[in-house]
């Protein structure tokens, strides 16, 4: 013995049906059925990151290469500035396209941060012209992206005569 179960339609189901019913023409000799009113599309809710992937710190202010950021004590800043805080890892982006360099940088910084590395060096090269190459110009923008900014505490050029390299101080893992 089969039992019938009543299925309730959601607002999305009703809206989809109304949009489809407006496209259908009745058979010859038949009257068109009244078409239900179309509801506005539902508002898309942005996905929520799992707690393990969410940054533990609030969004930080924009980072500039060479500027002392807030939240960094003076002694650590002086060690970074003078070169006494040596990089534990180095990434050389020479010869890469901007897209490939960005993905490599992203993976490199995530890996270094996950391993508890405090200081890394990214070599972009000086590039041609007075503004430098594409990678050198784009690096500060990449470090300020929402996916990387929570990891980065400070960035400086290790030597004034070498603008093709940037030392990046990463936040401590908590």
- Summarised one tens digit per residue, pLDDT across range 119-168 is 999 988 877 766 667 888 888 888 888 888 888 888 888 777 677 788 98
* 8 Å CB contact between 40 and 121: no
Higher pLDDT, 53 or 11: 11
For the segment 72-97, the average pLDDT, to the nearest whole number, is 85
| Complete DSSP assignment for 118-143 | -EEEEE----SSSS--HHHHHHHHHH
CATH code 3.30.1370.110 for 74-170:
yes
Alpha-carbon distance 154 to 10, whole Å? 50
Q: For the chain, which residues make up each domain, given as ranges?
A: 10-43, 74-170
In the chain, the percentage of residues whose pLDDT exceeds 90 is: 10
E-assigned strands of 20-173?
A: 89-92, 119-123, 152-156, 165-170
H or E stretch at 100: helix 98-114
Q: Looking at the predicted structure, is the pLDDT value of residue 44 above 70?
A: no
């Amino acid at each position: 013995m089969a039992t019938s179960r009543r299925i309730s339609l959601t607002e999305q189901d009703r809206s989809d049906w109304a949009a489809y019913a407006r496209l259908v023409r009745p058979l010859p000799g038949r009257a068109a059925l009244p078409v239900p009113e179309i509801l506005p599309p539902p508002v898309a809710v942005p996905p929520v990151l799992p707690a393990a992937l969410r940054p533990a710190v609030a969004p930080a202010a924009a980072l500039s290469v060479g500027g002392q950021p807030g939240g960094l004590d003076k002694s650590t800043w002086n060690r970074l500035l003078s070169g006494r805080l040596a990089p534990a890892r180095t990434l050389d982006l020479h010869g890469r396209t901007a897209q490939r360099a960005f993905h490599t940088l992203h993976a490199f910084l995530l890996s270094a941060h996950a391993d508890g590395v405090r200081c890394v060096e990214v070599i972009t090269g000086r590039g041609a012209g007075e503004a430098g190459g594409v990678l050198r110009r784009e690096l500060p923008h990449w470090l300020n992206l929402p996916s990387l900014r929570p990891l980065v505490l400070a960035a400086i050029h290790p030597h004034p005569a070498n603008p093709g390299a940037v030392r990046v101080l990463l936040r401590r893992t908590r």
